[in-house]
Amino acid sequence: MHTLDQLNRGELKGVVRLQLAENLTTFPEAIFNLADSLEILDLSNNQLSELPADLSRLKNLRILFCSNNRFSQLPEVLGQCSCLEMIGFKSNQISMVSSASLPTQTRWLILTDNQIESLPDDMGRLTHLQKLALAGNRLTAMPDSIRDCHRLELVRLSANQLTAFPDALLSLPRLAWLAFSGNPFCAARDPHNEFQTVQFGDLALQQVLGQGASGVISLATWQENTFDFSDPVAVKVFKGEVTSDGYPQDELDACLAVGNHPNLVKPLAKVTEPDCSALVMELIPAHYINLGQPPSLVTCTRDTFPAEQRFAIEKIAYIVEQVDQLVAHFCEKKVSHGDLYAHNILINETGHVLFGDFGAASKYDNLSAQQQQGIEQIERRALGFFIDDMLGLCAEEDRQGELYHELAKRSFC
């Protein structure tokens, strides 16, 4: 994080990335003094409502984040920035997105949690688009031209007002991660009465184990263990608001809908109180670690891995076999996970995997047979990307064998 004083004193000359969060109400003119070097500008968490008409003077600007500000429309000046490819305006009050505001070279567009009712009809001209995040808006339909965005790999459409599943998405050749829950065309949430309901007061939360967009996971012990569950347990307390993936209530619904599987974190019970929604799960043994790390600004939609991470091909085949069985299980339950990534997988020293995080999951059993097949094809494409990632971690001496080549036939790259 930088300061406005540093900027005004000229101490930031030559920086490639600038981040300012000081309740700014106007764009600091001193930023233009960095035009020769600045590539990433983060003005999130301010009070901005407009950008200067000459923003294109930042001739090297590739990435612009303006989340948590007061924009009511996506600034049209963005379309004049010749290098701009990543745009993030999450959690503003944007209701208007014009074609002029979207540079042709846009690769990453984040407009989560706004008030957008429609997108430009010519969205299809964004042929470089890979990631499109629109959860938590008021969209009633997607422009048909989206079918021309052939590089699109990740789409988030949950928590909108879509009256029908956008069939144009099914023709996209690289789409692998799709979330669409919480729309009028979706099936109703299930109360899942087959799972026990417990009181939040029955649990005593201990240290935080992890947190994500939809909630916080904590270690917990029972103060009142009515159903003789294991002790201690893990408890995910969901946030109330819409996340980058959708509504927390839909995550809880999807997680319970898929039920039990040897490679899923086992749900034990639910908490459904007016001021608290939570999921009680078996505690994952401490020797399980994350298989991958989330995508970066460079990889956009693809996971990242430590440079030294390597597996024998036999271990990779075992990992893939388990994830393959999980995808089949999801298809059987008619739930699209929507976030099939290595960073959502835990692994132990034997190669056994545990999969979780249903924030982007969507139920689809109410859709037509053709739509269901298309959604399952998207999920299997994510599996293909996952296999490609795993083969990238293969030990060099195993890359010429038959097992490697058999897996390579199933990868998507």
237 and 316 both lie in a single domain: no
Question: Is the residue at 319 inside a domain?
Answer: yes
The verdict on residue 323 lying in a domain is yes
What integer pLDDT is reported at residue 248 of this predicted model?
87
pLDDT over 80 (residue 413): no
Q: Give the residue from 282, 314, 330 where a domain finishes.
A: 282
Give the C-alpha separation, 291 to 303, whole Å. Answer: 10
pLDDT recorded at residue 133: 97
Q: What is the pLDDT of residue 244?
A: 84
Mean pLDDT of 311-325: 97
Per-residue pLDDT tens over the stretch 194-242: 889 999 999 999 999 888 778 899 999 999 888 888 889 999 998 877 8
HSE-CB of 180 using CA atoms within 13 angstroms: 29
- Regarding whether 301 and 212 lie in a shared domain, the answer is no
Among the candidates 240, 260, 282, a domain finishes at: 282
Sheet of 86-88: strand order equals 17-19, 40-42, 63-65, 86-88, 108-110, 131-133, 154-156, 177-179
Q: Which of 40, 38, 87 is nearest to 67 (CA)?
A: 87
So what's the pLDDT on residue 242?
Answer: 83
Determine the pLDDT at residue 241: 78
363 known member of a binding site: no
The tens digit of pLDDT for each residue in 151-175 reads: 999 999 999 999 999 999 999 999 9
| Same domain as 351, residue 242 | no
Q: Are residues 256 and 353 in the same domain?
A: no
In a domain, 62, yes or no: no
201 and 276 share one domain: yes
In a domain, 332, yes or no: yes
**What digits encode the pLDDT tens for the residues 89-106?**
999 999 999 999 999 999
Last residue of a domain, one of 242, 262, 282: 282
23 found inside a domain: no
Q: Rounded to the nearest 10 degrees, what angle do helices 369-391 and 313-333 cross at?
A: 160
Q: State the chain's mean pLDDT as an integer.
A: 95
Torsion angle of the four alpha carbons 75, 76, 78, 81, in this order, in degrees rounded to the nearest 10: -150
Q: Work out the average pLDDT over 373-395.
A: 97
pLDDT at 347: 97
| CATH code of residue 294 | 1.10.510.10
Same domain assignment for residues 277 and 336: no
Using the 8-state DSSP alphabet, how is residue 9 labeled? T
Q: What is the pLDDT of residues 329-355, one digit of tens each?
A: 999 999 999 999 999 999 999 999 999
Task: Identify whether residues 261 and 342 lie together within a single domain.
Answer: no
- pLDDT of 230-286, one tens digit each? 889 999 998 877 888 888 889 999 999 999 999 999 999 998 888 888 999 999 999
For the chain, how many structural domains are there in total? 2
> Do both 254 and 345 map to the same domain?
no
Answer yes or no: is 79 within a domain.
no
**Domain check: are 318 and 402 in the same one?**
yes
From residue 206, alpha-carbon distances to 222, 231, 254, 288, 411 in Å are 11, 12, 26, 20, 41
Domain hosting 274: range is: 196-282
Q: Decide if 270 is inside a domain.
A: yes
Among candidate residues 56, 70, 137, 143, the one with its CA nearest the CA of residue 103: 56
Question: Average pLDDT for residues 128-141, to the nearest whole number?
Answer: 98
What confidence score (pLDDT) does residue 226 get? 85
- Same domain as 299, residue 263: no
Residue 325 has pLDDT above 80, yes or no: yes
**Residues 348 and 384 reside in one and the same domain:** yes
Q: What is the CATH number of the domain that holds 264?
A: 3.30.200.20
- 208 in any annotated domain: yes
User: How confident is the model over 139-149, as a mean pLDDT?
Assistant: 98
Do 331 and 275 belong together in one domain? no
